[in-house]
Amino acid sequence: MTTTTGRTEPRRAPATGRRVASKAGAGGYRIGYGHWWWAAPAVVLMLAMIYATTATGAFYAFTDWTGIGSFTWVGLKNFTTIFSTPELTGALVNTLLLAVGFLVLANVLGLLFALALNRTLKTRYILRTLLFMPVVLAPIAVSYVWKFIFAFDGPLNQTLGAIGLQGLQHDWLADPHLALAAILVVMVWQSIGFTMVIFLAGLATVPVELEEAAALDGAGHVMRFRKITVPLIQPSIAIATTLTLIQGLRIFDQVLALTGGGPANATQTLATEVYQQSFVFGSFGFGAALALLLSLLILVFTVAQQRLTRDRL
């Protein structure tokens, strides 16, 4: 390792332009890390594709733009229309129901599987691989499989009939009350592996010795779980709940594939309504208002959820 002749110091940062902060190393010379303009393409892309479009969308939420031609400013009229249309308030309620249900079920079931697979089971690696498999599939493909399962002459009803529970057979996707639950089942099914994997990573950081010590002191399973495991996997809980919450609020593919929003708009969510209003009916301004509402919802819930799962150690 020899220094190149003629250069006993690292090349200095250019005198013009923003200097990237450097750190004094041994010997007193400074190191520059990269060039500040390396971040430029990423920043430009992000500003152009995400912030500019989001801001523009937020603007159009207060207009009646149809995507082409001129538009007029209508202020809050779009929003008052939203809250006075049963179909749309219904979509809002559905979005909330699905998001909360998804959050709870996906995390609880994922945690249960993670606890089971955490130690000592002989088949745990195979099971982990198999249970994670649904996560990598396209939600729309998964939805088609479940559409078959929930069909009136499909496996679910047939199984119920075979074990003598004919009374419980329903046309799951055509019943306004049950269709939403069916969509929830599909969402949860696909994400159990996802939360399970996050919790497995968190559980792996819980030292065995702590649990053993607690057991020696007489703590039962539940007590050990509550007092040791849960506090120590708090970061995993925070991540898993955040991600499932955001995912749940944005639900789109499954609804479109399973019910198309029906029957009679009973399973519309905010995301599917945005699509329908903007791209099927051509009311871009109105669709933007719905999208703005959805964004606000996500923001509010995320902030609230971050507060609730904040590190309390």
Partner 1 sequence: MFRYTKKTLVLEIVTILGAIAMLMPFYFLVSTALKTGDQVLTTSTLSFPTSPTFENFATLLSPSSDTSASIFKGLLSSVVITAGTIVALVVVGSPAAYVFARSTSRWSTRTFYLFLVAILLPTQLGVVPLYVEARALGLVGTPWGMIVIYTGVLIPLSVFLYAGFFRRLPRDYEEAATVDGASRTAVFTRIVFPLMGPATGTVAILAGLIVWNDFFTALIFLNGSDYQTLPVVMYNYVGSLVSQWNLIFAVVIISMLPILIFYFFAQKRFIQGYAGGLKG
Contacts (CB under 8 A) with partner 1, residues 197-226: 197-198, 200-201, 208, 211-212, 215
Near partner 1 by CB under 8 A: residue from 101, 110, 139, 248: 139
131 binds partner 1 (CB under 8 A): yes
Q: Do 252 and 275 meet the contact criterion of CB atoms below 8 Å apart?
A: yes
Residues 88-127 binding partner 1 (CB under 8 A) are 113, 116-117, 119-123, 127
Which H/E stretch holds residue 249?
helix 234-249
Signed CA dihedral, 269, 274, 275, 281: sign only: positive
In DSSP terms, 30 is beta-bridged to 24
Nearest alpha carbon to residue 150 among 168, 133, 134: 168
Residues 13-72 binding partner 1 (CB under 8 A) are 18, 20-21, 23, 25-26, 31-36, 38-43, 45-46, 48-54, 56-58, 60, 67
With H, G, I as helix, E, B as strand and everything else as coil, classify residue 30. Answer: strand
* CA distances for 262 relative to 69, 179, 305, angstroms: 32, 8, 30
Near partner 1 by CB under 8 A: residue from 80, 85, 89, 159: 159
Burial category of 118 from C-beta neighbours within 10 Å (exposed 0-12, middle 13-18, buried 19 and up): middle
- The residue among 50 and 93 lying less far from partner 1, judged by its C-beta, is 50
- The residue among 154 and 263 lying less far from partner 1, judged by its C-beta, is 154
Near partner 1 by CB under 8 A: residue from 76, 93, 130, 165: 130
Residues 281-310 binding partner 1 (CB under 8 A) are 284, 287-288, 291-292, 294-295, 298-299, 302
What number of chain residues touch partner 1 (CB under 8 A)? Answer: 111
Distance CA(302)–CA(134), nearest Å, equals 25
Residues 241-280 binding partner 1 (CB under 8 A) are 243, 246, 249-250, 252-253, 256-257, 270-271, 274-275, 278-279
